[in-house]
Amino acid sequence: MNAYGAQSLRALFAAEVDVATVAALPVVYAAMSQSAGASDAPPPFRIIANLLRSSQLNNVVARGDRSILAPRDLNGRSIALTRGTASEYFWAMFVLANGIDRASVRVVDAAPPDLLAALHDGKVDAIVAWEPLVSDLRENARFPVVVLTSPEAYITAWISVVRADRLAALSGRLERYLSALLAAEQWIATDPDAAVAVHSARIGVPPARLAGIYREVNFAMSLDEGLIHNLELQSLWASEQGRAGGLPDYRAMVASRLLARVKPGSVGLLR
């Protein structure tokens, strides 16, 4: 298990794993590298499912002892995030949604394990974090914590990706993988307390905290136009930031037959 999805995607491209689950932006960056014909572009890949949606998983967490109580208080401050992950795009949308002067904010690139230390040590005024880091800070920080939310800024997707050259050979295994995820999805819907208990024991997050996170997530596998639109929007943003590659054809990167067999009615894509 990796600390964040971009690591898992790199492991997939290196043929170290068969499936990677990852947020949208690393997928966008990989697709744009392919479109640009970059020498270090990853191998072709296919999206086989989006596992969830949530507008609450990513937030800005600030030190309350530095007079940060609202998003605009971040003007002229410093914030740490992990570039190449969903937090980079979330921050860009958070800035737009809340009228923050982006140029006035010093952005520090930090790996996920270093985000908490940067905030605790006072090296930055705020961080972009996702659950369960946000809840951990609420409960354990040695200073006042202010969580700045902006649900309209960003919708999290959690995407299952496989290498295109392995799709046919892995079809049986991938169908069992999606079937297991569907069973988990149905279990969460019918007995969320039991699902939280098992998940809590697995990752060491207290059940009460995990239950709050579960309430903010729509666990429902799908492949639909909402996902395509999300990927295209992030590609347009990346192009504006100077990333080469144009707008990839994400529909051509979707392999929907497995999910359609496992979960009929979950695929809604224009062709």
The reported pLDDT for the residue numbered 173 is: 97
Question: Where do we find the tokens 């590659």?
Answer: 245
Q: What is the pTM of this model?
A: 0.90
Mean pLDDT for each 10-residue chunk of the chain (271 residues)?
79 96 94 86 94 92 96 97 92 95 97 90 95 82 92 91 97 98 97 96 88 92 96 94 87 97 95 72
Distance CA 207, CA 199 (A): 8
The reported pLDDT for the residue numbered 199 is: 94
Distance CA 124, CA 79 (A): 6
- Choose among 134, 10, 6, 9: nearest CA to 60: 134
b/e for 174-209, b at 16 or more Cβ within 10 A? bbebbeebbebbeebeeeeeebbeebbeeeebeeeb
The reported pLDDT for the residue numbered 153 is: 85
The reported pLDDT for the residue numbered 255 is: 97
